[in-house]
Amino acid sequence: MRRRNLIDETQYKREMTRYHWNATPPADDGLLWPPGFWEPETNPDPRQPAPGDRLVPLDDLNASPPDWLWPQRIPRGKLTLLTGQGGDGKSIVAADLIARVTTGADWPDGSENKAANAFLLSPEHGLRDIVLPRLRTAGVNLTLTQLISTVAGESQESKPFQFPAHGPLLEEIVRSRKRPGLLLIDSLSEFLDLPSDPTARQRHLQEVLFDLETLADTHDVAVICVETVRPGGIVPLPHKNQWRADYDPTFKAVWGVARDPRDRQRRLLLPIRHHLGDDRLGFQFSIVPDADGIAAVEWGEPDDSITFAEAIGRVRLGRSVWSFSQTAQAESWLRQYLAAGEKKSVEIFSDARKAGFTQHPVRDALNRVARKFKQGQRGPWSWRLLEND
C-alpha cells in the first residue's frame, strides 16, 4: 500500500509495528507499576473512536492498476493458490512457471515476460532426486532461483522451515535479491503446524496468510501457494453439484490443475476464482517425460469449454453454471436460427443436434435469448426471440 501511495509513511510504520513479522516490541524496563486510583482510564471503550480517528474519503486515495507477473493471470503483490487433486501435475506446472520467470520466456498465452529472481520453498525430502531434476528439465535458471528447505539452529543442526516462526528469515532472503518475481511454496501445509481445534486451526492459517500477503505487497512479489485439494484440508473439495469450494478470500486468484475427462492424455490449467484478471480462459497441456523419465509440461491450446468442478467430477459435465463456450456458441446459433421467425421446440432441438450442440447448452441459451409460448390451447410449444416478442 505504501508502494502504491495508498497510505502515508506514518500509517505504514504504525501498521508494520502492529502486524508485521518485524514488529518492534514495546520497551520494557522490567518494572510493573500498579496504576493509582486517581489515574485516568488506560483501556478506553473499544466501541468509542480514538481522539485522532477520522474517516478517509475516497478522494484522498490514489488509484493504482494491478501489477502482473503473468498478465491477467498471476498478480504481483498478491497471493495465488494453485490447487488440484494429488498426482494431476501441480508441481510440474509450478516448475514450468519458475522456469519462465527465471529465463524470461513468454507465457503460455504468448504474453511477454522479463527474467526475475524466483524463490522455491520445498520440503527436504525429494529435493535431490525429484525437485532438482524436475527444475533442470523445465529449463529453470538455477542462478536466479533460491531453494529454501531447512534452517540452521543454534547448534548448526538443520531443522525444517516452519511458519510463522521462520517468516522473518524468508523476508530477509526475498529482500536480499534484486528484482524478486515469484515466491512459490510447494506445498503450504508442509510448513504449517496446525492445531487440532478447528477454530484455532483457521485462526493460525489466516495469520500465516496475512503475513504472506504483507510480504508480497511490501516487496512486490507474486506468492503462489501449491496445495492439494482434500477433505478436511486447507483446500476443501467442492460439495456435490457445486462448482467451487469456499476458498480463503486472501487468495486473490485461484487456479486448478486437473485431468481432462474427455481426453485422459490431456491435462488442464483452469481458473476457479479471480478478483483482478480474466477468470474464463484456461489452458490445455500435456506431461511429456524426457529421456531420463523426468516429466515436463508441453502447453497446448486455450480452453474455456470446461470448469474445474466438471473436470474433477463434482458437477456433471455440461451442467455447471460456467459452461462458457458451448452456451455462447448456442446463443449465437439460436439468434441466427430464430431470426426468420418462431420455431417449435421439437424442430429447434432436432436442428441443434444436427448442428453439433447437446441439449443442455441449447436449453440454457433458449432461456437467455428467447421466450416460450404455446400456439393455441393444445398447440405445440414454440420459441421466438425476445426482441421479436
* Dist CA 272 CA 83 (whole Å): 10
Does residue 30 carry a pLDDT above 70? Answer: no
Give per-residue pLDDT as tens, 60-91: 777 778 899 999 999 999 999 999 998 899 99
Cα angle, residue 323 at apex, residues 385 and 358 outer, rounded to 5°: 65
Give per-residue pLDDT as tens, 151-197: 887 767 788 898 988 999 999 999 999 889 999 998 898 998 888 88
Where is 93: in which H helix or E strand?
Answer: helix 90-103
Contact 6, 196 (CB under 8 A): no
Give per-residue pLDDT as tens, 310-359: 888 877 665 444 445 577 778 888 888 998 888 888 899 889 888 888 78
DSSP class of 110: S
For the domain made up of 68-311, the CATH class stated in words is alpha beta
Which is nearest to 82 in space by CA: 299, 208, 258?
Answer: 258
* Dist CA 75 CA 313 (whole Å): 29
* Confidence at residue 171, expressed as pLDDT on a 0 to 100 scale: 92
Contact 324, 306 (CB under 8 A): no
- Least-confidence region, from 120-129, 172-181, 230-239, 298-307: 230-239
CATH 3.30.70 assigned to domain 324-388? The reply is no
Does residue 38 carry a pLDDT above 60? Answer: no
Cell digits of residue 7: 497510505
Torsion angle defined by CA atoms of residues 55, 57, 63 and 69, in that order, rounded to the nearest 10 degrees? 20
Which pTM does this prediction carry? 0.70
List the chain domain ranges.
Answer: 68-311, 324-388
CA 19 to chain centroid: 24
* Dist CA 70 CA 283 (whole Å): 14
Give per-residue pLDDT as tens, 277-322: 877 789 999 999 988 889 999 999 988 878 888 888 877 665 444 4
* Confidence at residue 175, expressed as pLDDT on a 0 to 100 scale: 92
- The neighbour count for residue 145, using CB atoms within 10 Å, is 18
